[in-house]
Structure 1
Amino acid sequence: MNISQSIKAKSKELGFLDCAIIPAGFLEEESGHFHSWLDAGMNGEMGYMSRNIEKRLNPQLLVENAKTVIVVLLNYFPKATQNDDSAPVLSKYAYGIDYHFVMKDKLKELLRFIRKEITPCNGRPFVDSAPVLERAWARRGGLGWVGKNSNLISVLYGSFFFIGELILDVELPYDNPKPVADHCGTCTRCIDACPTKAIANNRVIDARKCISYQTIELKGELDKNLKGQFENRVFGCDICQDVCPWNLKSEPNNTSEFTPVPKLLELTHNEWHNMDRPLFNQLFKNSAVKRTGFKGLKRNLEFVERE
């Protein structure tokens, strides 16, 4: 087994769906699109998106002497969803333990393996918590194309997965992936289904209108102009992924940490709206829902209750 095969075999053993090994470099193609998005103010109150722009585009500013980016995908599609059709809806990615912890632990294990079995090196794992344009690296690695809903879509796996990276200061045998063709074609299901019309145009999301932004990132009052358009979503939104034909390929994940607390899927409409802090802490102790917190979730619940 050669070096590349060995790393990819280890990534599969760790539960990753796919893995690409590519050279680090400046993301020139993405630079113009990213600056245009920021200039249009589509990042809303996410001020952090306009900081460290050069680091987002150049991994050598994140890891000294960076030479290699290893990109991995981790499935989060659940085995089961919420029981009560009238209950407020939680995004599928937040069912289990916060993915930042889960993926970072797996990436650290992959880094230890490389150091022990392949070569001494310095490197850092990244999981949506540092200035890294993850979809761009995954696309460059041939793991998928960026769909009209701006999500990375895999021909094999759909789009219900997390993206993570290891950035290393050593050269490795690189893949030579061909860009994955855009398979969206004339389909506009994601655009048509978005209740707030947040998909500004192909592959551009106006975060200010996005339900995920409103229910997670926004810290103040929710946009009253979007009243009645959340379709009962209270943390994140999967609508554009749920309607995507490529997600007919999605299969339940095998990551034990993503298994939800049983009570979570059993919550009724009334139990959601009567949730107190002890129940919140019980259900979301190690969850990504802690990002919005109890007060934020109650704000969201009140917003959709009056829809």
Structure 2
Amino acid sequence: MDKANQSQQVTELTLAGLTDDPRLKGPLFVLFLLVYFITLAGNLGMVALIRSSSQLQSPMYFFLGNLSLLDACYASVVAPRTLMNLLMEKKTISLVGCAAQLFFFIGFGSTECFLLAAMAYDRYVAICNPLLYQSIMSHRVCVLLVAGSYVLGLLHSLVHTEFAFSLPFCPPAEIDDFYCEIMPVLAVSCSNTQVNRHLILGLGGLVEMVTILAVLVSYSFILSAVSKISSFKGRHKAFSTCTSHLTGVTIFHGSILALNFRPRPTDTLSTDKTFAVFYSLVVPMLNPLIYSFRNREVKSALREFVVWK
């Protein structure tokens, strides 16, 4: 009863942050500010390039533009608060603010899972049914796939956020992380969180399993189709459009699995935070680099854009 009464008084939570060492806060602020700037410049630059270039108007680049916009939003959920907390002694966040951060963080991350699966389907149609590609992947179908990714991702997030913030929290309510991530939030609750943890494992695992399976099935058909091409040059050309996507999928899903589904008996808190930094701040920065450096059409469009400017 005392805990329940105390939990009603909690209106804000405290974030532990990345470090308590004042000597590290300045360098970390500069580093994360640079990473965030590169993330915004790279992703929003990719969106602007795709919208302005006549070379990049195929369904593949429609998905890539939406992926870049999603990554810019995804990074913006965590980076500004992280930068602000590095400059402040008191790292507090309201319950509503924490719930919003958790909702959008899980929502954008889940949406990216579904969007990467949709991009794998796009590559499957392009390579296995090239003559029907434009008719199958019409603009309407592409919009529906992107919209469906957002709907499923945000619904998935809504379930976790609703269950997490229906729990009571007791003072001092300090989250042992630098942003409102689901497991550290549950750790400061007064009540039993077993249902929430089963939900994370079950529903989160289902999203991961379904989207990874969709990618694997798409690429199994792609590999089968490519293996039937007689010339090495033809095989290389057919599969070269997939390498950037495969790299992005591997990095994104690999970081999710490493952060949330790995064994934890010997893991330290610093290791958890390192994974969290990579997953929340570094991964969104990598996608525009991966897709621009490994794609001839993007590099060609970028050269034309620079020359025109």
The normalised TM-score by structure 2 is 0.28
The structure carrying a bigger strand percent of its residues is 1
The structure carrying a bigger helix percent of its residues is 2
Larger Rg: 2
